[in-house]
Amino acid sequence: MLANYFKVAFGVFLRRKFFTFVSLFGIAVTLVVLTVAVSFFDHMFGPHAPESRADRTLSIYMVTASGPKMNGYTSAGYGFHDRYVRDLPGAERVSVHSWFVPAITYMNGTEINFYIKNVDSDFWNVFDFTFLEGGPLTQDDEDGGKLVAVINETTRGKIFGKDPAVGKMISLDHRDFRVVGVVNDVPMLRFTTFADVWIPITSMSSEAYKKEFHSGMFFSTILARRPEDLGLIRDEFASMLTRIDYPDSRQINKIEGEPQTVFEALSYWVFGGYLLPTLLVLMLLFMLLPTINLVNVNVSRIRERASEIGVRKAFGATGFTLVGQFVVENVLLTLVGGVIGFFVSFVVLRWISATGLIPYAQFEMNYRIFFLGFSIAVFFGILSGVYPAWKMSRLHPVEAISGRAK
C-alpha cells in the first residue's frame, strides 16, 4: 500500500505543478533561513576548538561596581581577577586575559591590521589550541615579561608568506616580538579566544594594570575539574564577593556579578537574560507561518480533488486510508523541499564563509544542523497535512462527487 501511496503522490506533484512549486518554495526558504541561523548559533556557542571544553568552562566578563563615586557595569581589573578568582575552589585552571584590541604594523611598507590579545600562560591550558608551529607562551615567558608572541596562520601568511615563522621577529607597538608559535585561525565570533596575535600580559609597557581593580581590559576564564563543579564555582564566587577588601571604599564598596558561559553572557548583555526564550519564540513563529501557508495550500489542493475523494469513498476507501495517503504525500513533498533547502543552505554557508564577512569563520553543514533541519521538515509535513487530511476524510461521497465540498 505504501508503494501505491508513493506512485499517487508523485503523480499528483507533477499534475498540480503550481501547488507543488508554492509548497516546495515555502519549505526550502524556511529551512534555508533556519539552517543558516542554527549554523551561526552553533559556530558561536558550540563546543569547537579552541573552546572545546565549554561544558566545564565559565568566564567572568563584566561586573557591576557601585559605591559613593561609581555605579555601573564594567570590566573588573587584573588586580581583582588575580587576587580573588585564581584560587576559587573547584577550578582546575584559571586564566586572566584581555579583550582583543586592534593594532597596526608595517611590513615592507605595507600596512597590516590585526588584533592583539594579552594572555597568561594558563590561557593555553584552559583552551584547546592546535599549534601548526612551535608552542604556547610559557610560565617563564610570563614571569620574565619576555617579548614573545603566538600568531595565527593568516598573520603568518601576511608577514612571512610560506616560510616558517617561529624564531622570527614581528614589530608590535614599536617593539620587536619573537614568534614562538603559530596556531589555527580563531573565528571572530569566538570573542573569548579570538585574536591574530597573543602576547604575555607581563609584556605590557607599564605594570599599572596589576593594581587595577575595575574598569580594566581584562576578564578571566575558569576551567572546572568536572562539569558538576560549575555550581560549586558559582557559589564560591558569590561567597568571595562578600569578603572583598576594597582598595578604596570611598570609590567602590560593592561588586556584583557571576561566572557565566558565553551564551549566558550574550543573553544578559543583549536580551537581559532572555535570549533563549526569545530565540525559541522567534523560531516557533517562523515555523508557524509557513505551516499555516502549507495548510491553506493543502486545503485548496484537497478541494480540487473532491470528486476523486468521493469516488474512492464510494468504492469503500476508509477515512484512515485517505488520511494516510494525504499525510504521505505531504511528508514526501516536505522532504523534497528539505533536500532543496539543504542544498541551498550549503551554497549559502559556503558563500558567507568565502566573503570573509566574519573574520576566519567557516560555516559548514554538520550532523547536528542536518538532523535539526530534517526534524523540522518532517514536523512541517505532518503538521500541515494532518488537518487537511482529517477534513478531507469527513467529506460525504455525494457532496464530494457533486463538487459541493467545503
User: Following DSSP, what letter does each residue of 173-232 receive, concatenated?
Assistant: TTEEEEEEEEE----TT-TTT--SEEEEGGGSS-SGGGG--BS-SEEEEEEESSGGGHHH
| 379 and 242 together in one domain | no
**Pair (164, 244) in one structural domain:** yes
Residue 328 lies in a domain: yes
Q: Are residues 228 and 353 in the same domain?
A: no
How many beta carbons lie within 10 A of that of residue 9, not counting itself?
A: 18
Are both 383 and 279 inside the same structural domain? yes
Q: What is the structure's pLDDT at 40?
A: 85
Quote the pLDDT of residue 26: 77
The range of the structural domain enclosing residue 223 comes to 62-259
- Domain membership flag for residue 57: no
Residue 265 lies in a domain: no
Quick check: is 268 in a domain?
A: no
> How far, in Å, CA of 101 to CA of 195, rounded?
8
Looking at the structure, tell me whether residues 158 and 186 fall in a common domain. Answer: yes
Quick one: residue 272, left, alpha or beta (phi over 0 = left, psi -120 to 50 = alpha)? left
Q: Are 59 and 260 within 8 A, CB to CB?
A: yes
The dihedral over CA atoms of 98, 99, 105, 111, expressed in degrees to the nearest 10, equals: 170
Q: Does 55 reside within a domain?
A: no
Domain shared by 316 and 206, yes or no: no
* Residues 370, 241 within the same domain: no
Structural domain contains residue 107:
yes
Paired sense of beta strands 110-119 and 197-200, if any: parallel
Task: Answer with the one of 229, 259, 289 that is the final residue of a domain.
Answer: 259
- For residue 164, being part of any structural domain is answered with yes
Q: pLDDT in tens for each of the 406 residues of the chain?
A: 556 555 555 555 556 677 777 777 877 887 788 788 888 888 888 888 899 999 999 999 988 888 887 777 788 899 999 999 998 998 999 999 999 999 888 777 778 889 999 999 999 999 999 999 999 999 999 999 999 999 999 999 999 998 999 999 999 878 999 999 999 999 999 999 999 999 999 998 888 888 888 777 899 999 999 999 999 999 999 999 999 998 888 888 889 999 999 988 888 777 666 766 777 777 777 666 666 766 666 666 666 666 666 666 665 666 566 666 777 777 787 788 888 888 898 899 999 998 888 889 888 776 666 677 677 767 766 776 676 667 666 666 555 555 554 5
237 and 116, same domain (yes or no): yes
Whether 267 maps to a domain, the answer reads: no
13 and 157 fall within a common domain: no
Number of domains in the chain: 2
Q: Last residue of a domain, which of 259, 294, 317?
A: 259
Q: Are residues 35 and 66 in the same domain?
A: no
Which grid coordinates are listed for 62? 563584566
What confidence score (pLDDT) does residue 332 get?
80
Give the three-state DSSP class for 87.
coil
pLDDT number for residue 317: 60
Check if the beta carbon of residue 100 is closer than 8 Å to that of residue 187. no
Same domain, 300 and 170: no
Q: Please check whether residues 203 and 321 belong to one and the same domain.
A: no
